[in-house]
Structure 1
Amino acid sequence: MKAYCFHIVNGQAEEVPLDRALTGQPDLAWVHLAGIDDDSRTWLHETAALDDYVVDALTATETRPRCEAFGDGAFVNLRGRSKVEMDGSDLLASVRLWAIRGRVFSVTRNPLVAVGMVKEEVASGHVHDPGDLITAFAAAITADLDPEVAELGDQIDTCEEALDAARVFELRRTVSRVRIAAIGYRRFLNPQRAALEKLAALPGDWLADDDRLHIASAADRAARMAEELESIRERSALMHETLSDLRAEQIDGRALVISIVAMVFLPLTFITGLYGMNVANLPYAQEPWAFDAIMGVCAAIAAGVVIYFVRRHWFSR
């Protein structure tokens, strides 16, 4: 079990070993467990003496952003970017938080970028109580994810500017990748906004007024990112349709060229095939000028077919 703990007194943070995490009377004791295994469950049950409901929520396999009040504390689950590549549709890793007066327990299954940012906030003396710590998590997650959302929008902008039939396959791969990422992020940002709004409205004096304002601000940023991701998803869908239309036009154009070439050579093939039969009594077969005449007729027919298609403007379609 990998863990680290901090005792915070008057904004001053001191890292302590796990066996001293729940001793003393600090303003805030923060215990973070990086990974979920039997040892972490045992420690939460026996040493931290948390209720079964809280332990189950902190160590659950499948989680979605949510906030629930329980007794004198609150359970909060948030999602943010991970330091490792996530598989499947879960593009964001979770951090599970249990907060009561003077204590916060956090658990992650995958390494979260925001955890390092929160540790820096703690070390700099900006965290004094559980409300400050949860606010730091919410702000760090949204601040880390915001540039990623902006980058997805920039990629769609680039694809729209570079729209070209010659780059259909390359652009379709980029658009598909952006669309999948936008859907994956948006899947969690909407419930995360609702969780933060619920947390900001929870009763209890362990959340100060300024903490509630900061959490509400993080909820607003999550809502804005969700709206941006929805816009990116819609633009990606439109781009995909446009690229599909371009690809269809390419195929139609090539099919038209093939059809025209076939129409030109069809009568020529008939004539050459007719005179290529190994039978007697073919007209003019024994004449010395027959070959030149047949070639002239073929050339005239080919020229006539081409002129017909040119006048019908088939080549410009």
Structure 2
Amino acid sequence: MTGFAFAVRDGHAQPINIDQAVSAQGELIWVHLPSADDEAADWLHDKGGLSYNIADMLTAAETRPRCDAAPGGGVFINMRGLTSDRMEPSDLLASIRIYAHEGAVFSVTRKQVNGVDAVRARIGEGKIRDPGDLIAAFAAAITEELDPVVADLGDSLDDAEERIDADRVFELRRRVNHVRVQAIGYRRFLNPQRGALEKLATLDVDWLRDDDRLHLSAAADRAARMAEELESIRERSALIHETLTDLRAEQLDQRSLLIAVVALVFLPLTFITGLLGMNVAGIPYAHQPWAFDGVVIVCAALALAISAYFIRRHWFRG
């Protein structure tokens, strides 16, 4: 079975064989399985000693952030964090499912969650001593990594807003749409994640100390702030998109007006040249040497007169 395990004894963490984790002794035993297939579910039940219900929750295909108390003082919590794996636009965050009780924590991921490496480094440095510390470290690592990503979305939207111009409509619309899709994707999970962390911080379990609850509450507050920022980004994106759409419509109206004015200028000229170009007898001055020059002068005078009329009426300005 792939994965890793740590045992914390007297404040010091040591890597241990994953198949020996259940029988290991210490203040904290952490088992992480980087898969959620049938093999992982069987290991969790047969060797991990977890019930079928808990094993199914840890390996479920579709999960949203949640927190539930389990019998015997255990807690199940699912969180979402950034991943380097390829994700769908509607599902940008990978899930990590955690079951914890006194002295032990089991975590499972289907996709790589970046926060796992940060927590693994912290436990190797001896900064995690019990299950409460481990879950609080996960919550902090996930929210700390998401915070600058949300800030970058806001900065990208600010930059797009400053560069609004008729000649950049298509480029800016693509950027704004991209930011809006990302904001919706992140916000979809941050709101329930805030609720899950808040619920965990208030659960009546002995292995959660006061400082753990404070860290969980701080992570929940940060998730709430990010969710509010993402909602603001989503609303601003909609307004900027509407502004760009109006700007594009105004640009099209101006071009259509210019085409209409040009057509109106040439309409009487086309009538004159068409009338004089008929192959019938009796066309005035048809055999005079100055006839062509005369027609050109008349047409030019008409074009200038019509153009002057439109300029005085400010039609070229829309």
Correspondence for 1:10? 10
**Pairing of 1:1-317 with structure 2 (within 5 A):** 1-71=1-71, 72-317=73-318
Q: C-alpha deviations, 1:271-314, integer Å up to 9, x for none?
A: 11111222222222222222112111111110111001000011
Which stretch shifts more, 268-277 or 194-203? 268-277
* Contact kept in structure 1, 2:65 and 2:189, CA below 8 Å: yes
TM-score if structure 2 supplies the norm length?
0.98
Deviation at 1:206, TM superposition (A): 0.9
Q: Which amino acid aligns with 2:263?
A: A
Q: Tell me how far apart the structure 2 counterparts of residues 235 and 196 of structure 1 sit (CA, whole Å).
A: 28
* Contact kept in structure 1, 2:82 and 2:93, CA below 8 Å: yes
Q: Tell me how far apart the structure 1 counterparts of residues 213 and 172 of structure 2 sit (CA, whole Å).
A: 43
Q: Tell me how far apart the structure 2 counterparts of residues 99 and 286 of structure 1 sit (CA, whole Å).
A: 106
Q: Tell me how far apart the structure 2 counterparts of residues 19 and 84 of structure 1 sit (CA, whole Å).
A: 27
Which stretch shifts more, 248-257 or 130-139? 248-257
Secondary structure of the residue aligned to 1:228 is: helix
Please list every run of at least 4 consecutive aligned residues from structure 1 whose deviation after the TM superposition is greater than 6 angstroms: none
TM-score if structure 1 supplies the norm length?
0.98
Number of positions where the alignment pairs a residue of Structure 1 with one of Structure 2? 317
Q: C-alpha deviations, 1:213-245, integer Å up to 9, x for none?
A: 100010000000000001111111111011111
Q: Tell me how far apart the structure 2 counterparts of residues 168 and 277 of structure 1 sit (CA, whole Å).
A: 48
Q: C-alpha deviations, 1:71-102, integer Å up to 9, x for none?
A: 12010000010111211400100000000000
Q: C-alpha deviations, 1:244-277, integer Å up to 9, x for none?
A: 1111111111111111111111111111111122
Q: Tell me how far apart the structure 2 counterparts of residues 20 and 279 of structure 1 sit (CA, whole Å).
A: 108
Q: Tell me how far apart the structure 2 counterparts of residues 91 and 249 of structure 1 sit (CA, whole Å).
A: 36
Q: Tell me how far apart the structure 2 counterparts of residues 85 and 267 of structure 1 sit (CA, whole Å).
A: 63
Q: Tell me how far apart the structure 1 counterparts of residues 124 and 41 of structure 2 sit (CA, whole Å).
A: 27
Q: Which amino acid aligns with 2:138?
A: F
Q: Which amino acid aligns with 1:309?
A: F
> What root-mean-square deviation, in Å, do the aligned CA atoms of Structure 1 and Structure 2 show?
1.0
Secondary structure of the residue aligned to 1:98 is: strand
Secondary structure of the residue aligned to 1:127 is: coil
Secondary structure of the residue aligned to 1:315 is: helix
* Contact kept in structure 1, 2:41 and 2:59, CA below 8 Å: yes
Q: Tell me how far apart the structure 2 counterparts of residues 17 and 109 of structure 1 sit (CA, whole Å).
A: 21
